Structure 1
């Protein structure tokens, strides 16, 4: 693989971090629709491109949602009071893509879910079967945490979504994680109730129950696992 392509892919993840950190300073001040315009503004300032605008006819440059109403991408045009927000941004830098998502809380009691997610990533290693990811995700389940198995992680590099589909259920995928593989990890946690419904491929949680999603883009390079979208606060 071309070293320049690798460097640009890793830089793309770094620039996505910068963008999400900037947007995190605005998240309790505006409606989600206004935040999407702010994301678009900074994408232009940073000389990036949105990976989501016009992707399968999607018309926004971010997937923003309020966790106790909906997860995965319907901007709310009203300014409402909410406990937490999901900021999910995918960008294109030098024709390489990065996808990252963060949940921000007013209520800190849900922070333990972020730790569960980061521990999940620690256990993903080269030469594992991709099916192990689904196995690890399903080990998280308990009396209060459920997984939306209809969503999946995906391969990413020259395209936002490539043919590598990583299922979040227990499965028998015998494909191994190998050198130069790049993919996202993005489980959706449901806290309190797994019920909900799908509308236009968007998961809507039941009222007053919560959905959370974190996402990182990973790159396997020799014996290293590079989390291209890792944030400094997550290293502490």
Structure 2
């Protein structure tokens, strides 16, 4: 396993890329209303990434993918394909996942949105975000990679949910996907585990299902759904390991991370 360590100068650029990715999610939030299509949401994000932020979408052209976002509704776990014929309805829950490139560095983040009200969906989204935050609390130089998945699985299952096994977080920085794989459940052994070091950059992006953890990929080759058609939620941040915690490059303006202390207190 070859996990890159980034210099202070590179970390400064990763912070910029992450902040710009977060701005895409901030921009799109007020547009999420009944009747708008996921294709239109993607179009707005794409235009904002290129025209307003002067960035490049990391997903357009990636293994043939042709959209600036992944938009995953209800029982779609991840990699939902935007569609101008797919219009939002009251009660829908959705995840928007965006990755941008700025000056050769990547920012990758996702957030959940609720269209109107959905009590079960709102609880699932909240617990999923808490899973991400529980992982962020334990991350620092010296923490084992396996501890991330352990705390996520514990929090999800204690609330009656399951953790998706088929998709994971990943190292990121100068490349979209690099070492390590970041499992969101307790699935490492001595060979695959690692110790976090200052300057490592990775995504933590738990996918939590209201039912069982099993998923399947549809015939389009991208869209992953829950096998039992239960709701699924996901939250994601790009995180840089520091001596006493994490740097959250993709923090949104409205996000309270005071529980991390330090610069977020």
Do both proteins adopt the same fold according to a TM-score greater than 0.5, normalized to the shorter chain?
A: yes
Of 214, 220, 228 in structure 1, the residue corresponding to residue 249 of structure 2 is 228
CA shift for structure 1 position 143: 6.7
Equivalence for 1:185: 204
Equivalence for 1:88: 97
Partner of 1:235, secondary structure, is: coil
CA shift for structure 1 position 206: 4.5
Of 28, 36, 39 in structure 1, the residue corresponding to residue 42 of structure 2 is 36
**Aligned residue runs from structure 1 range 144-159, under 5 A:** 144-159=160-175
Equivalence for 1:4: 9
Task: Report how many aligned residue pairs link the two structures.
Answer: 236
The answer to whether residue 135 in structure 2 is matched with residue 116 in structure 1 is no
CA shift for structure 1 position 163: 2.8
User: Which range is displaced more, 154-163 or 106-115?
Assistant: 106-115
> TM-score by structure 2 length?
0.81
CA shift for structure 1 position 14: 0.9
Mark the CA change 1:109 to 1:72 in structure 2 (over 3 Å): closer, same or farther.
Answer: same
**Aligned residue runs from structure 1 range 45-194, under 5 A:** 45-69=52-76, 71-78=78-85, 79-81=87-89, 82-105=91-114, 106-107=117-118, 108-110=122-124, 111-140=126-155, 141-142=157-158, 144-169=160-185, 170-172=187-189, 173-194=192-213
Provide the rounded CA distance (Å) in 1 between the counterparts of 2:7 and 2:216.
Answer: 43
CA shift for structure 1 position 35: 0.9
Contact 1:53 1:61 in 2 (8 A): yes
Provide the rounded CA distance (Å) in 1 between the counterparts of 2:41 and 2:123.
Answer: 25
Of 18, 22, 39 in structure 2, the residue corresponding to residue 17 of structure 1 is 22
Equivalence for 2:231: 210
Mark the CA change 1:13 to 1:224 in structure 2 (over 3 Å): closer, same or farther.
Answer: same
CA shift for structure 1 position 165: 1.4
CA shift for structure 1 position 210: 0.3
> TM-score by structure 1 length?
0.91
What does the per-residue CA deviation read over 1:174-232, in whole Å, with 9 as the maximum and x for residues that have no partner?
Answer: 31100110000011000133344223253212575200010000012343410111223
Mark the CA change 1:77 to 1:144 in structure 2 (over 3 Å): closer, same or farther.
Answer: farther
Q: Give unpaired runs (5+ residues) of structure 2.
A: 1-5, 258-265
Provide the rounded CA distance (Å) in 2 between the counterparts of 1:74 and 1:43.
Answer: 18
